[in-house]
Structure 1
Amino acid sequence: MKRTLIRNARLSYANVWKPRAINDNAEPSYSCSLLVDKNDKESLAAIKAGIKEAERKGKEQYGAKWKALRTPLRDGDTEDKGEAYKGHYFMNAKSRTKPGILKVVRVNGKTKQEPVLNEDEVYSGCYAHVTVEFYPYSASGNTGVACALGNILKMRDGEPLDGRIRAEDEFSEIEIDEDDLDDSDDLDDLDDLLN
């Protein structure tokens, strides 16, 4: 199936570094919830086209009577998911395969993509371009379209959704009193010892 690109999705419940199982009987997987602004017509059109194609494949795979009773696209204004979800559609994407995770960097006035090595850079609340793949399913009387997580290209930071505060932000207003410092913290003394 063809992958769908979702631009500038906000990641929520970003479990993209280590696989986790939702319960003891489930297989561990990588997952995240993708928040898509309701005004993002381009991404929403791509999502709807991907779901429609998966529905067509479902009829082909499971027979003409197969019908998608569930689709992954949900309304953040009608489900009680918190303030970050308001004004957004969202969908949960997961995969047993670890996603490739890149970021955009500027070097000498040009942008390029490179792998994200620090796991703290991609978190619940950041914005990213994400590829997903929609596929039909039929299991235990449930039929529908699900969403597989592809790869992630981090675009920019956002307010963390997990309540964490960056140390740089938390201590930015604090004045450091020189009397509170231990003499061993003096880098000049360390340089003298090494030379």
Structure 2
Amino acid sequence: MNKIVIGTKENPVRFSYANVHQPVSVNGSDLKYSVSIIIPKSDKKTIKKVNDAIQKVKQENKDKFGGKIPANLKTPLRDGDVDREGDEAYANAYFINANSKIKPGIVDADLNPILDQSEFYSGCFGRVSITLYPFNVNGNRGIAAGLQNIMKTEDGEPLGGRSSAENDFSDEDDDDVLG
């Protein structure tokens, strides 16, 4: 199994599309827990670690691809400036979508389990362990990322456009009916 931990205390990754408390079905697929892991392009060390792990999985699993690595092999490390063009959270970053049928462990920086679902959300920062594995299904061939465990190390601006009740109702200016 090719497990890697990405993100450090000094260079944490950011989490988006965090479906880690309840599994969800995407386009009729099986229920899965998932998260998008955003890695700044400036974090060369983490990007190298991910690319090295991808290369290792490719080399170790050539037999799954017919004995040679296909030129169009899909990999989990994607370019946010290309694949999420216009999404500010993904600008100047790479990202990995990881998922699992098994609920990931979620802890804080002191390794205490995070039980309050509001404590881990899209936009916070931390570390994550993933496994990289090959797939060859219906002509789609590549390397995928399995979600293992998550450590939240710091809060961040929530992603997704949802505001808090406190922010919505803290302003006494009720004259602007249409917002």
TM value normalised by structure 2: 0.85
Deviation at 1:167, TM superposition (A): 3.9
Q: Which letter does structure 2 place at the counterpart of 1:77?
A: D
- Find runs of 4+ consecutive structure 1 residues off by over 6 angstroms: none
Give me the whole-angstrom Cα distance separating, in 2, the residues matched to 1:18 and 1:98: 8
1:154-177 per-residue CA deviation (whole Å, 9 max, x = no partner) reads 010111111123345555666xxx
Match in the other structure for 2:3? 3
Match in the other structure for 2:130? 132
Give me the whole-angstrom Cα distance separating, in 2, the residues matched to 1:2 and 1:58: 11
Match in the other structure for 1:21? 25
Deviation at 1:120, TM superposition (A): 0.6
Match in the other structure for 2:108? 103
Matches within 5 A, 1:131-170: 131-170=129-168
Deviation at 1:63, TM superposition (A): 3.9
Matches within 5 A, 1:15-164: 15-24=19-28, 26-67=29-70, 69-79=73-83, 80=85, 82-104=87-109, 112-164=110-162
Q: Which letter does structure 2 place at the counterpart of 1:46?
A: K
State the SS of the aligned residue for 1:113.
coil
Give me the whole-angstrom Cα distance separating, in 2, the residues matched to 1:84 and 1:75: 12
1:132-157 per-residue CA deviation (whole Å, 9 max, x = no partner) reads 11111111111111111110000101
| Structure of larger gyration radius | 1
Gaps of 5+ in 2: 173-179
Contact 2:79 2:94 in 1 (8 A): yes
Contact 1:94 1:147 in 2 (8 A): yes
Match in the other structure for 1:191? none
Gaps of 5+ in 1: 105-111, 175-195
Match in the other structure for 1:186? none
Give me the whole-angstrom Cα distance separating, in 2, the residues matched to 1:166 and 1:157: 15
Q: Which letter does structure 2 place at the counterpart of 1:30?
A: Y
Q: Identity of counterpart residues, as a percentage?
A: 42
Matches within 5 A, 1:152-191: 152-170=150-168
- Aligned residue pairs: how many? 166
Q: Which letter does structure 2 place at the counterpart of 1:9?
A: V
State the SS of the aligned residue for 1:89.
strand
Match in the other structure for 1:188? none
